[in-house]
C-alpha cells in the first residue's frame, strides 16, 4: 500500500516515533503496524483491526493496539460498493488517536 501523511510533523513522527509521546511498547506496535500497512497490497491484506466508517465515507480507523489507533482517509479510486473500501491501495494518515476506555 501507499501511505501519505496529513502533515510533515506526523510523517516525521511515524518514521521515527518518540517515546515521549507514546510508551515504548506502543512505539514498537506502531512501527509493526505501519510495516503491515506498507507490506499489504490493499486494506483487505491486513489481518485485523480495520474499520471503515459508513457514516463518513473515506474515513478509516486502523488499530495499532488496545491503546492507540490510526485515523486516516482512503484513496478516492472508485470501488465496488460491496467491498466497502477494503480494496483501497492508498491511505493518508491523518492522526494517531488514543483510544478511550471503551476501546
What CATH number belongs to 2-98? Answer: 3.30.2310.20
Rounded to the nearest 5 percent, the helix, strand and coil shares of the chain are: 30, 25, 45
Indicate the pLDDT class of residue 103, thresholds 50, 70 and 90: very low
> Per-residue pLDDT tens for 46-96?
888 998 877 777 899 999 999 999 999 987 655 555 566 788 889 999 999
Cα–Cα distance between 49 and 42 in angstroms, integer? 14
Total-model pTM: 0.85
Spatial strand order of the sheet with 59-63 comes to 2-5, 90-98, 68-74, 59-63, 50-52
Q: Is 49 left (phi over 0), alpha (psi -120 to 50) or beta?
A: left
How far is C-alpha 72 from the chain's CA centre? 6
| Structural domain spans, the chain | 2-98
> Per-residue pLDDT tens for 21-41?
889 999 999 999 999 999 999
Amino acid at each position: 500500500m501507499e501511505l501519505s501523511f496529513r502533515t510533515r510533523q506526523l510523517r516525521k513522527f511515524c518514521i521515527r516515533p518518540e517515546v515521549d509521546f507514546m510508551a515504548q511498547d506502543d512505539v514498537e506496535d506502531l512501527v509493526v503496524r505501519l510495516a503491515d500497512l506498507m507490506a499489504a497490497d490493499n486494506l483487505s491484506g491486513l489481518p485485523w483491526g480495520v474499520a471503515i466508517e459508513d457514516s463518513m465515507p473515506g474515513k478509516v480507523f486502523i488499530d495499532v493496539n488496545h491503546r492507540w489507533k490510526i485515523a486516516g482517509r482512503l484513496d478516492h479510486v472508485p470501488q465496488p460498493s460491496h467491498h466497502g473500501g477494503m480494496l483501497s491501495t492508498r491511505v493518508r494518515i491523518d492522526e494517531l488517536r488514543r483510544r478511550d476506555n471503551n476501546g
